[in-house]
Structure 1
């Protein structure tokens, strides 16, 4: 299998007055193409910080991060933004849809940043909204959509540039149980199609959908276990 992500001895610290708070402590981790990984841990464990570093939304204090064998530290801000837009799709707990844009326009946004022509943008956005079963709702504003529908729009937006990795931060956190199951089934289907998914969650029943669970406590990986097939 192709190695997508390699973290070597990653640390992350923040200054708080005279004190230094170490959030991540010498994390080493590899993720292969096609894996479905759940990162778990209690609040304050460092799991979201790790996700932000993998997503290049934050930089480590020390250590090396390789994405598809390219060291991320060597990338300038412009190239980082390009890699984020093309290689990583983000799904967040709070959806982060623009309220004045309809579902179709929200999904088009990454394609605008990528410089894709307008007609091609609309075609791709429609294609991915259809994929997440929102063909009939594509002209609705976020305020006219349910929580589950908003998350489907967010997933379509994450997929539209055909990234190699989907990062999902508490993707069911704002949803009821039934809708959460629907979203997890959708992510599972995407993984079966070959997408690499890395998900942060504090819920064991959500982590059970993944084929690999990593537990972080006090900035350290304390467990890393694989299971065949997820749920």
Structure 2
């Protein structure tokens, strides 16, 4: 469970201060499927970065499973991020000189996993996203949808409990977007917490809860009827 209490985020100092988040109170239970929406500049990506341990709030309290993340030192924070969170981005961020299998393996190198186990787990994840027949292909040889599937496989390879997806369908056509969202739905049904940042109502419609930000504040938080 994630609990954010009175979270603020200010960039810069003195006269150059830019406040982005203003007193965010939010609780996300294990296994939820959440969309964070809002116009450009609303603070949704900043909130995502805080939830994913990529950034720290300026003030307030962020707890994960009852432990205050703000008190954790950087080295342990990186370990928490690697163990608990899988990231999926709009631009994929695949390493261009590595094939699909090696791209999926890459987080396991930082985790100190053996070469044999890295290979086995990466193959397993590529099979899960339906790309085991493309594992030797470079990113330049893959379609946009295939690249995003590789990125999702990479996000899953450490068996994270939380998937954070920042505009995961933004670079894809409508049919491919549907396939990616159906894959994220399946991952949520398996028990993972999935949090998506999006500006598209069609994408948010796949989720079970929609949180709307405007000017750094939560203006709406609604759950969909199942």
When the two structures are superposed, what TM-score results if normalisation uses the length of structure 2?
Answer: 0.98
Greater CA deviation, 212-221 or 66-75? Answer: 66-75
Q: In the alignment, is residue 36 of structure 1 matched against residue 33 of structure 2?
A: yes
Q: Deviations over 1:96-143 (max 9, x none)?
A: 000000000000011111111110110000000000000100010000
Using the alignment, how far apart are the partners of 1:191 and 1:132 within structure 2? 14
Q: Give the match's secondary structure for 2:56.
A: coil
Correspondence for 1:162? 159
After superposition, residues 39-58 of structure 1 pair within 5 angstroms as 39-58=36-55
Structure 2: gaps of 5 or more residues: none
Correspondence for 1:103? 100
Q: Give the match's secondary structure for 1:56.
A: coil
Using the alignment, how far apart are the partners of 2:192 and 2:205 within structure 1? 17
Q: In the alignment, is residue 13 of structure 1 matched against residue 10 of structure 2?
A: yes
Using the alignment, how far apart are the partners of 1:184 and 1:226 within structure 2? 18
Q: In the alignment, is residue 131 of structure 1 matched against residue 128 of structure 2?
A: yes
What is the CA distance between 1:20 and its match in structure 2?
A: 2.3
Using the alignment, how far apart are the partners of 1:92 and 1:214 within structure 2? 19
Q: Give the match's secondary structure for 2:125.
A: helix
Correspondence for 1:91? 88
Correspondence for 1:68? 65
After superposition, residues 147-186 of structure 1 pair within 5 angstroms as 147-186=144-183
Q: In structure 2, which of residues 200, 210, 214 is the aligned counterpart of residue 213 of structure 1?
A: 210
What is the CA distance between 1:159 and its match in structure 2?
A: 0.5
What is the CA distance between 1:70 and its match in structure 2?
A: 1.1
Correspondence for 1:77? 74
Greater CA deviation, 9-18 or 147-156? Answer: 9-18
Correspondence for 2:138? 141
Structure 1: gaps of 5 or more residues: none
Q: Give the match's secondary structure for 1:18.
A: helix
Greater CA deviation, 179-188 or 7-16? Answer: 7-16
